[in-house]
Amino acid sequence: MTILLIIYTLALAALNGIRIFDSTYWYDEMFSIKLIRLPVPELLAETAADVHPPLYYLILKGICHFAGESGPVLHAASLLPYLLVLVLALTVISKRFGRSAAFLFVTLASLLASSVKFNVEIRMYAWVVLFVLLSYLSLYAILYKNRPIYYGIFILSSLAAAYTHYYALIAVAFLYFVLMLYALIARREILGRVVLTWILTAAGYLRWLMVLLQTFGRTSEGWWMKWMPKYKDSLPAIFEGKHDWILFYIFAAVLTVTVICRIAEIAAGKKILPERSGDGTGADPGKELVFLLAGAASVFGTIAVGVGVSHLFRPMYFDRYIYTAAVCAWLILSAGLSGLRVRGAALLAIAVTIFVCYCGYFNYTEIYRQDTKDAAWTEASVQCIADISGRTDTPTLTDKDTDIRILAFFPHDYRNKLEIRDGLDAGELVGGGEIEKGKEYCLVASRELTAEEVQDLAKNGITCTPVRPELFKDDPDRGGFLGDLDVWIYDLNK
C-alpha cells in the first residue's frame, strides 16, 4: 500500500508539474511579475500599499534571481510548496492519520479546481497552504508531545503564513486561540509555553501589523474591492470545483460525527483510543477533539471574519481567500474518514477518494484546456506585437489596461525596446499629440478604436492599420488576447 501511495502521489505531482510550461498569466500574476522586477525597498513599499504582505514576492524574487525569470520558473516557484505538501502527506500525515488519510489528502491537494489553479499560479496561495498545514500539524504535535521544537515550528510557520497572506494570519490566529483556551481549561502545565508562543509570534509580526492597520484604514473611495461577499458562497469554495457542495456536505457530516464521537469517548472516560496507524502512539480523544475544533475554527472563523469585516466596514474578502484555511478542512476530512471506527469506514474513505478523483478529472481537464487556448491566443498576439515593434525599434503605445500585460509578456532584454505610455484611454493616446511625425508606432488597446477615431487620425495624417494574429483572422469581434484580456493591435504611421 505504501508503494501504491507513493506511485499515486508521483502521478498527481506530474499532472500538476506539466502545467509549469503554461505561458500565459492573468492580471494578478502579472502584478506579481511587476513587483519582483522592483528593487527590494520599492517592492516592500509597493506591497505595503497592496492587500497582501511581502514574503511571497521576496521568495519569488529570490528564486528568479538564481534561476532566471521565465514562465516555467515563475510557475515552478508555486509548484515547489505543493511538492513539499505532498512530502508531508507521505510522511507526517500517513504516519499519524493512516495511509487512507494520505490518499484522500493528496487527492484534494492535487485535483480540486482551486488546487489545480494555485499549485502553479504565480501567486502566494500554494505557499500559504504549506505554511498553514505546517502550523496545523505542529499544533497536533504540541498537543501530544509538548516539546519546544514543535512550538518553534508552530511560531515560524505561523509567522510565514501571516507574512504571506493576511487571511492566513486570521487562519493561524484561530489555532492560537484554541490552543490558549485548551491550556487555560485543560492543561495548565503548558500555559507558560503557550503564553511565550503568543508573545514571540506577536513580536515577530508587530512591525507589519502596523502596515496592516494602515491598509485597513484607507478611505473607501480609494479601495478597489467592490463585491460584497456572502458567508454561504465561501463554503463550497473550500472544495472548489465540480460537485463542491457535495464535498462540503461530506466534510460537514464527517466533522460532526467525529466531534460527537470524541465527546462521547471523553464522557465515557476513555483516555486512549485504539491505534490509528500502527505507529505505536494511541489517539487521545480530548486532544483529538481540540485538534478538530481548532481546524474547524480556522476554516469557519476565517470566513466569518472576512464577511463580517466586509459588511461592517468595506469589502475586503473574496471567496478564494478561504483557500488560506481550506487545508485544515482537507486534513479534517481525510483524518476523520480514516479514523472512523465503524463497519465499512475503509470502503467509505476509498469511495470519497474515488469521488474526488472523478470530480478532479473534470476540474483538471477544464482548466488545462482553457489555459492551453489562452496560451495559444496570447503567444500569437505577443508575436504579432513583436513583429511590429521589432521594426527599427518601433515604440509600443499601451493604454491604461494593457501596459502591465505588455510588460509581463515581453522578455527582459526585449522590454527595453518598448516605449510604454500608460495611464490613458486608447482614444487619448492617438488623439492627444502622442504620435510624432515620421515615426511608426504599435498601438495595443483594450478596446477597438471607433470609426470616428480612425477618421480623425486620417485627418491628422495618421494611417491606422489593424493587425490581427492569424488565430483571430476569422473572428471580426476580437483583435488579439493577452493573458486575460481581449486587445486590439494597430500599426500607426504619420
Q: What is the DSSP string of 400-464?
A: TTTHHHHHHHS-HHHHTT-----SS-HHHHHHSS-PPTT-EEEEEESSPPPHHHHHHHHHTT-EE
Question: Can you give the pLDDT at residue 280?
Answer: 40
pLDDT-derived band at 277 (thresholds 50, 70, 90) equals very low
Question: Can you give the pLDDT at residue 288?
Answer: 93
pLDDT tens track for 113-142: 999 999 999 999 999 999 999 999 999 999
Question: Can you give the pLDDT at residue 165?
Answer: 93
pLDDT-derived band at 273 (thresholds 50, 70, 90) equals low
Question: Can you give the pLDDT at residue 391?
Answer: 64
Q: For the CA atoms of the chain, what is the radius of gyration?
A: 26
What 3-state class would DSSP assign to 106? helix
Q: How many helices (H) and strands (E) does the chain have?
A: 21, 6
Helices 125-145 and 166-185: angle between axes, nearest 10 degrees: 10
**Cα–Cα distance, 144 to 403 (Å, whole number):** 54
pLDDT-derived band at 216 (thresholds 50, 70, 90) equals low
pLDDT tens track for 463-481: 888 888 888 877 777 888 9
Question: Can you give the pLDDT at residue 117?
Answer: 95
CA angle (88, 89, 95) in 5-degree steps: 95
Q: Are 111 and 356 in contact (CB under 8 A)?
A: yes
Cα 320 to the chain's mean position, in Å? 8
Instruction: Work out the average pLDDT over 88-116.
Output: 96
Q: What is the domain partition of the chain in residue ranges? A: 2-341, 371-493
**Cα–Cα distance, 17 to 75 (Å, whole number):** 9
Cα 355 to the chain's mean position, in Å? 24
Q: What is the DSSP string of 165-231?
A: -HHHHHHHHHHHHHHHHHHHHT-GGGHHHHHHHHHHHHHHHHHHHHHHHHHHTS-GGG----PPP-H
Question: Can you give the pLDDT at residue 1?
Answer: 64
**Higher pLDDT, residue 388 or 30:** 30
Q: Which three cell numbers stand for residue 148?
A: 519546544
Dihedrals φ, ψ of 93, to 5°?
-65, -45
pLDDT for 247 beyond 60:
yes
Terminal Cα-to-Cα distance of the chain (whole angstroms): 72
Q: What is the DSSP string of 42-77?
A: HHHHHHHTSSS-SHHHHHHHHHHHHH-S-HHHHHHH
Dihedrals φ, ψ of 464, to 5°?
-125, 110
The top-scoring range by mean pLDDT among 33-37, 246-250, 284-288 is: 246-250
CA angle (151, 154, 155) in 5-degree steps: 90
**Cα–Cα distance, 217 to 211 (Å, whole number):** 10
Domain covering 371-493: architecture: 3-Layer(aba) Sandwich (3.40)
pLDDT tens track for 351-386: 999 999 999 999 999 999 999 999 989 988 888 888
Q: Are 292 and 284 in contact (CB under 8 A)?
A: no
Contacts for 382 with CB less than 8 Å, ≥ 6 apart = 409, 410, 482
What's the whole-number average pLDDT of the chain? 87
Question: Can you give the pLDDT at residue 433?
Answer: 57
Q: Which three cell numbers stand for residue 170?
A: 486570521
What are the C-alpha distances in Å from 146 to residues 137, 273, 289, 332?
13, 19, 17, 21
pLDDT for 278 beyond 90:
no
